[in-house]
Structure 1
Amino acid sequence: MTTSDAPPLRADARRNRERIVAAARELFAEAGAGVPMEEIARRAQVGVGTLYRRFPERDELVRAVATDYIERLATLTRAAADEEPDAWRALRRLVRRFAEPQLGALSAALKVALPDAFIADPDLSQARLHWIAQVDELVHAAQADGALRPDVGTGDLILLISLLTCHLPELPVHLGRSLPARYLELTLDGLAAPSAAPLPGVPVAASDLGAASEGVTRGAT
């Protein structure tokens, strides 16, 4: 049964589920996805039995947090597109938001816990591709406005965000916290048009990321 096929929950059960997912989201970002289930129940202020009724297996909870994470990215993208005066400012806002430490830590924790889920799980893959399509629309609009360099693809942008939010373990703590924001601003300046020099290779498009998702999904069936 997929998430979309699940029967609707009663109001109290839905609230408990939302509290559990919110608590897990916070704790995964703080301590990784291996945090004890009992600690998640305490943070959510629900009984351990309630947690296990909603999520009998840890993987089910991790997938619920992953779905919530992608939905949050989509919400942030919609808000930026609606509220900023142009696509380039919306993209700059998004890149900065996605690179915030809590979102970056949550993304890293989910990738460790479910390394292939974002492309192998049908629900997660569909949600991810929907979000990529939102970003792709902004990228093309910013390029049409002449604000974003034309030799950058949506895939380039998304992969850059992933690289910028990876905290290298060998770095001193104070550098690991400060460098992502510093390099983020350098990256944003490098993305702006006009560019000083052409990039080697070819742009990574949104369709390249989608093709990778479809290939893994077909292989899993």
Structure 2
Amino acid sequence: MRADARRNRERIVATALDLFAERGPGVSMEDIACAAGLGVGTLYRHFPDRGALVADLATTTLSGLRDHVRAGLAEDVSRWEVLLRVVRYCAGQPLALITSLGAGATPSTAAPVELIQEVDALLARLAAQAQEEGTLRGDITPEQVVGLLNVMVCRPGARFDDPLSTVMLDGLKAPGPASRG
């Protein structure tokens, strides 16, 4: 791929990621091209249809999240702190778009199921470790924690410090001295 074509593709992907994270799945291809400072034809040369772009974004986003969670699990810090970092990271990702793919997804737009399962398993492991250290309440399963995290971060405009995220994190935090910090 020529250098200018590679830059255009990178610009399209970065712009689409930003717009989908900000506005949710309703962003048009024309909005993406305009915000990227490119013509719609350039966008369609790289991605023949919306499904191809969305599938690429889903894979990119989920791979980045997987790598972020893996890196956090490898650190020697509080699991609660890692969980907070993951939520903070997720707030800047177009996870609402990926969630919307579940209903009516076609093979060309479906997020890779194996990648979603891998991310969910890593998050469940993180939740279990946080429960073991006493920083995450233990009266719900790690899988239920993953479900709550999905509700928290897989919506348009999700932020780490918005009221829904704050209430959910407060509810997940274990009471007592072990959870402070």
Query: What aligned pairs does 1:1-221 form with structure 2 within 5 A after superposition?
Result: 9=1, 11-83=3-75, 85-98=77-90, 100=91, 102-103=92-93, 106-112=94-100, 115=103, 117=105, 124-165=112-153, 178-189=162-173, 192=174
Output the TM-score relative to the length of structure 2.
0.73
Structure with greater contact order relative to length (CA < 8 Å, sep ≥ 6):
2
The amino acid across from 1:80 in the alignment is: G
Alpha-carbon distance between aligned partners in 2 of 1:107 and 1:54, rounded to the nearest angstrom: 22
Alpha-carbon distance between aligned partners in 2 of 1:115 and 1:122, rounded to the nearest angstrom: 9
Conserved 8 A contact 1:139-1:148: yes
| Gap runs ≥5 in structure 2 | 177-181
Task: Tell me what 1:6 maps to.
Answer: none
Q: C-alpha displacement at 1:23, in angstroms?
A: 0.8
Output the TM-score relative to the length of structure 1.
0.62
Pick the structure with greater CA Rg. 1
Per-residue Cα deviation, 1:150-206 (whole angstroms, up to 9, x for no partner): 4433321121123334779xxxxxxxx8421331332232xx277xxxxxxxxxxxx
Q: How many residues align?
A: 172
RMSD: 3.3
The amino acid across from 1:39 in the alignment is: D
User: Between the two proteins, what is the percent identity of the paired residues?
Assistant: 37
Q: C-alpha displacement at 1:20, in angstroms?
A: 0.9
Identify if the C-alpha distance between structure 1 residues 81 and 125 changes in structure 2 by more than 3 Å, giving closer, same or farther: same
